[in-house]
Each structure stands twice: as C-alpha cells, then as structure tokens.
C-alpha cells in the first residue's frame, strides 16, 4: 500500500499521426509538482506534412512543459526518433532546458566497445550515402526494387546523399545542450533515478553488451532469417561499385587486379572493335545482354541497408519505469529479438548494494507492466511472444502503438503486424491505442473495458487529435 508521500499520477502522452516515436510523461507526486520526461521526438520522412506536424508537436511540448524537460531520453539513432530535434532545433536550443539526458551505453564516446560498434556502422553509412548521393542511381529509384529500398532506408537512417544532417550530429547537438555533466550513458542492469524526479526509477533492460545478442534481429525458429551486424566487406564492395559509376580515380579498397591491368568499361567502349579482346567483344554483344550481372550488386546494397536498419534498432535503450506502487511502464524503443532475449542475462540491479534492496528478474518486471509502448510500430520481430508479451500478465495492461498504417503499408511494411496486433488486443482486452485510430472507437473501448474498478486509467485527447494521453493513478 502506498503512503500519501508516494501517491500521485503519471500521464503518458503519445503524439499521433507521425509513424515515429514522441512520448511525453507527466509525473506528479503529492506536493512535488509536475515533472516532465520526453522520450524521443521524431517523425518518419514521407508522412504528409511531416515538418509542420512536428512544429505543432514541439509547440505543444513547449506549452505543456514550459520549456523544462526534467529528463530527456533518446532510445536510438533513427530518423523517426530524432527528426523533431532536427526540424525544430532552434526551438530546442533556445526555448528548452534539458535538466538530465539519458542515452544507451552504445552512444558513449569513451566506451571502446561503443566506439568499435560505431566505426562499423559509420563504414556502412558511408557506403549507403555513396549510393544515395549518386544521381544515376537515384534516377533508377522507382525502376529497381533493391535501389528503392536502399534509398528509402538511407533517408530513414539519416544518411541520405548531400549534406543532410546525421543522427549523430543531432545527438551531439542535444549533448551540447544538456552539457556533459547532465548526460548519462546507461548499462543493462542499472537501476536509474533522475535527480529532479522523486518517486520514479527505471530498470535499464538493454541494449545488451553481448554482441551475439546485439546482432540477433530476427527469430531463429523455423525459416526466419537472422540478420547480423554490418559486414565490412559488403560496405567496401558497394563503395567500390559506386566509385566505378562515379568515375572515381581513387577507390576505397584494393581491386583484384594490379593497376596496369585494370580497365574501366568506359575505356573499353572507346576501343575500336578490332582492338578489343574476345572477352570484351562478347561483353558488348547485344545478344549477351541478358547474361550481364552489372546491376546484381543492387541487392547487396539492399541487404546492407536492411542490416543497418535492424542493427540500429537493436541498440535501443530499453527502460522499464517503476511507479511507487509497483506498476511498470515499458518503453523498449525499437528493440528487436536479441535485445529482448538479453534482458534475462542480469537482474535489476545486477548486484544489490543497499541493505534491504532486492534484485528483480525480467519475469518479475514484465509481470507488473501496466503500459507497454509497443516496439518498432508493432512490426513482426520487435515484441517477443512467450518471453515477452505473454509475461505481461497484469490485467490493467494498456498498449500504445505509434504507427500510421497507410504510410507503413505504402512502404510495404506490414505494420501493425496482424498476429501481434491481435495478440495485443487479446492481452489488453482491446485497450490498444494507435497513432491513426478512430478516437471515438478507442474511447468507447476504454469505457467498455476499464483497466480497474478503482483508480482506472483515464483517456484524454488533444482537441485536434494531435495526441492521446493515458493517465494512471498510483
């Protein structure tokens, strides 16, 4: 039972219509005032009116918080979690005060493992940027399914061609704003508390230090394919091929032939037919056109882009916020399979250091989840079944999905994934809030299936539908 000193409310606000993550938590303890926690702030490129929508969101954040963010959390370096800070950077630089900033250990520039990880990522980003910045390849966007995927994911990851700001530069801007003294890098097994927010603590579940699990993005059961961290040879090969297309004289890797024996296609084309070798003649024979494999590397570029996308998701900072009465709010970012599996690798905290303190297991934490921010917009591999959702047994469970189905399906992304969406509805008694839902229908569902007889969760919506908010009393 809680005492008057530990009673209060937490309101979880999900901004709608963005196919990106932007969540504002308003935490209130008796006699302590309202404290504000912002978790990510991004909108997917391709959402109609994305920049204006984000301007509206940041204006609402400013109005609600008065410009004070007691805690800012960025889960990972993806455009749909960061772009609001980019689009509205002047507002964040000028009008907001960041009192504390939390990031995963993977963003720590002083951590050798994190540095090595980013070197690998940076190499892949360089290769993808070379593709996205090549006019000839961009012109083929809608004609080649592989290149279409590469270019859309490159923009999604903030590595499009030209001088487009990167996720890393956006994070650096936020670090500078918060200052190093107020920036923390969290490890799995940490139990973190914010200096300005009494009565709230967070179990840090991921990302894992174990690179085998950090690499594991898809289920290994059945025919599912596992996707691994960036293969540097793939990145080298793509840079090499783009270098050929660009007429680059200096290529980033060694070629299989010594310099005197290297020939470009353009040089061979300029040779008179009688000066060409038999192989060169056959290559330009119109009857052999179907045998050419010049463009097969596009599929490798697509594979690299997909790897980068999934691997970045798996570096998500995963936090389980515990309220004073024991309820847990789970925010897994876009964590995928390996990240979820790693949560059982430690207790929380890893080693109790305070007299009377106990360590919690992942199962014990999941059993107390009453609000679940559904991972990766309800995709197929970002919520575990037996070791995840089925462990969330509290009958008060509410799920929030930041997705716009029309935009996702327009990109051939199966979000929300039907089987998972149905499982969420079953587990929550239909209390699933979605970013492009029918507000009247959602409200009716909550009236029909309240979370509890007493102190039930309460819904509220912005007058224009900009956000939905769940208010939980403890």
What is the Cα–Cα distance from 209 to 395, expressed in whole angstroms?
Answer: 33
∠ CA 403-172-124 to the nearest 5 degrees? 70
Q: What is the pLDDT of residue 129?
A: 65
Q: Are β-strands 191-193 and 201-206 bridged in parallel, bridged antiparallel, or unpaired? A: antiparallel
Report the largest interatomic distance among the alpha carbons of the chain, rounded to a whole angstrom. 94
What is the Cα–Cα distance from 72 to 74, expressed in whole angstroms?
Answer: 7
Q: Is the peptide bond prior to 188 cis by the omega test (within 30 degrees of 0)?
A: no
What is the Cα–Cα distance from 334 to 82, expressed in whole angstroms?
Answer: 13
Residue boundaries of the structural domains of the chain: 4-117+159-225+308-473
What is the architecture, at CATH level 2, of domain 4-117+159-225+308-473?
A: 4-Layer Sandwich (3.60)
Q: What is the pLDDT of residue 305?
A: 45
Q: Can you give the pLDDT of all 474 residues of the chain as single tens digits?
A: 444 457 899 999 999 999 899 999 999 988 788 999 999 999 987 788 999 999 999 999 999 999 999 999 999 988 899 999 999 999 999 999 999 999 999 999 999 999 988 777 666 666 666 666 666 555 555 545 455 555 555 555 555 544 445 678 899 999 999 999 999 999 999 999 999 898 899 999 999 999 889 888 766 554 333 222 344 444 444 444 455 444 444 444 444 555 566 666 667 778 888 888 887 777 777 777 666 655 554 445 444 444 545 567 889 999 999 999 999 999 999 998 899 999 999 999 998 777 777 899 999 999 999 999 999 999 888 899 989 999 999 999 999 999 998 888 877 788 999 999 999 999 999 999 999 999 999 999 999 999 998 889 999 999 999 999 999 999
Burial of 244-256, coded b for 16+ CB within 10 Å and e otherwise, reads: beeeeeebbeeee
Q: What is the pLDDT of residue 230?
A: 41
How many CB atoms are closer than 10 A to CB 89?
Answer: 16
Exposed/middle/buried for residue 176 (C-beta within 10 Å: 0-12, 13-18, 19+): exposed
Q: What is the pLDDT of residue 382?
A: 87
Exposed/middle/buried for residue 188 (C-beta within 10 Å: 0-12, 13-18, 19+): buried
Q: What is the pLDDT of residue 63?
A: 98
């Amino acid at each position: 039972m809680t005492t008057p000193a530990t009673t209060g409310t937490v309101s979880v606000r999900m901004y709608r219509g963005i196919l990106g993550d932007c969540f504002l938590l308003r935490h209130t303890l008796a006699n302590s005032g309202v404290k504000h926690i912002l978790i990510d702030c991004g909108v997917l490129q391709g959402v109609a009116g994305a920049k204006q929508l984000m301007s509206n969101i940041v204006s609402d954040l400013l109005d609600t918080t008065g410009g004070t963010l007691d805690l800012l959390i960025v889960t990972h370096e993806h455009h749909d979690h960061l772009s609001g800070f980019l689009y509205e950077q002047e507002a964040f630089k000028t009008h907001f005060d960041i009192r504390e900033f939390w990031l995963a250990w993977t963003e720590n520039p002083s951590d050798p493992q994190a540095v090595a990880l980013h070197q690998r990522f940076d190499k892949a980003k360089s290769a993808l940027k070379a593709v996205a910045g090549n006019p000839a390849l961009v012109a083929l966007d809608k004609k080649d399914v592989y290149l279409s995927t590469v270019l859309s994911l490159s923009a999604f990851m903030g590595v499009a061609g030209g001088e487009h700001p990167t996720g890393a530069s956006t994070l650096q801007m936020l670090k500078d704003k918060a200052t190093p003294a107020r920036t923390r890098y969290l490890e799995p097994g940490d139990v973190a508390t914010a200096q300005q927010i009494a009565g709230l603590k967070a179990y840090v579940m991921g990302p894992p230090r174990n690179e085998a699990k950090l690499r594991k993005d898809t289920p290994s059961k059945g025919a599912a394919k596992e996707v691994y961290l960036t293969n540097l040879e793939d990145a080298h090969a793509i840079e090499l091929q783009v270098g050929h297309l660009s007429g680059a004289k200096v290529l980033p890797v060694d070629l299989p032939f010594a310099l005197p024996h290297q020939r470009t296609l353009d040089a061979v084309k300029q040779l008179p037919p009688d000066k060409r070798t038999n192989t060169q003649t056959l290559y330009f024979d119109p009857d052999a056109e179907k045998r050419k494999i010049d463009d097969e590397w596009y599929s490798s570029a697509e594979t690299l882009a997909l790897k980068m996308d999934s691997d970045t998701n798996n570096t998500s900072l995963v936090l389980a916020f515990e309220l004073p009465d024991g309820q847990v709010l789970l925010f897994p970012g876009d964590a995928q399979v390996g990240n979820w599996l790693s949560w059982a690798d430690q207790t929380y905290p890893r080693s109790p250091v305070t007299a009377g303190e106990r360590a919690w297991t992942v199962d014990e934490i999941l059993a107390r989840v009453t609000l679940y921010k559904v991972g990766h917009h309800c995709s197929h591999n970002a919520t575990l079944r037996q070791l995840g959702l089925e462990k969330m047994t509290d009958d008060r469970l509410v799920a929030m999905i930041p997705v716009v189905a029309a935009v996702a399906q327009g990109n051939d992304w199966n979000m929300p994934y039907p089987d998972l969406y149905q499982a969420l509805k079953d587990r929550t008694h239909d209390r699933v809030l979605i970013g492009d839902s029918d507000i009247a229908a959602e409200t009716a569902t909550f009236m029909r299936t309240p979370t509890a007889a007493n102190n039930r969760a309460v819904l509220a919506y912005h007058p224009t539908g900009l956000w939905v908010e769940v208010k939980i009393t403890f």
